[in-house]
Amino acid sequence: MAHETEWTGGCMCGAVQFQALGNASWVAICHCESCRRHTGGILNAAAGFPAAKVRFNGDPSTYASSPGVRRYFCRVCGTSIAYQSEHWAEDIHLFVGTFDECRKMKPEFHIFAEEHLDWLAISDHLPRFRTTPSAGETI
Ligand SMILES: [Zn+2]
Ligand SMILES: [Zn+2]
């Protein structure tokens, strides 16, 4: 049987590291304002994994950006690491930029495209969901 892929990653200073087993359920580019604020970037990319497949080494801090939401970050260096919500309690969304092999984490679609910054030109042909894939509407 094939060995399960083991992804590794972590923050800038190394105080928080993670392992994620298996394939990501999805990889998406997020344009929401909360991700902008959390990362300081003009967009964010996240990979969904079952929370049971993810293990943290170190002790990430969390911030509740909305009720039921936990945004993980390193309190030492400030790196934004992950997002978790009660809406998808079994999942954790690890930020692609924190993966050691982020080049292999190819996005499949855009989410919260309605909040996309107008001056950012995107030339890919990936589906652009107005909010989330479960809401279903593309723009
Ligand atoms: Zn750190
Ligand atoms: Zn977002």
The matching CATH number, chosen from 2.170.150.70, 3.40.50.970, 3.40.470.10, 2.40.50.100, for 6-115 is 2.170.150.70
Question: Looking at the CA of 111, which ligand is closest?
Answer: 2
Write the pLDDT tens digit of every residue in 35-75: 999 999 999 999 999 999 999 999 999 999 999 999 999 99
Q: Tell how far the Cα of 55 is from the centroid of ligand 2, in angstroms.
A: 22
Contact between 18 and 81 (Cβ < 8 Å)? yes
Task: Render pLDDT for 21-39 as a digit per residue (tens, 0 to 9).
Answer: 999 999 999 999 999 999 9
- Confidence band, pLDDT 50/70/90 cuts, at residue 2: low
Average pLDDT, the chain: 96
Contact 33, 115 (CB under 8 A): yes
- pTM, to two decimals: 0.94
Distance CA 33, CA 42 (A): 9
- State the amino acid at position 24 in one-letter form: A
Distance 77 CA to ligand 1 centre (A): 4
Report in angstroms the alpha-carbon separations of 23 from 51, 89, 102.
Answer: 13, 18, 13
Q: Could you tell me the distance, in angstroms and rounded to a whole number, from the CA of residue 16 to the centre of ligand 1?
A: 6
The predicted pLDDT at position 1 comes to 56
Domain ranges of the chain: 6-115
Q: State the ligand closest to the CA atom of 34.
A: 2
Judged by its nearest atom, the ligand closest to the C-alpha of residue 57 is: 1
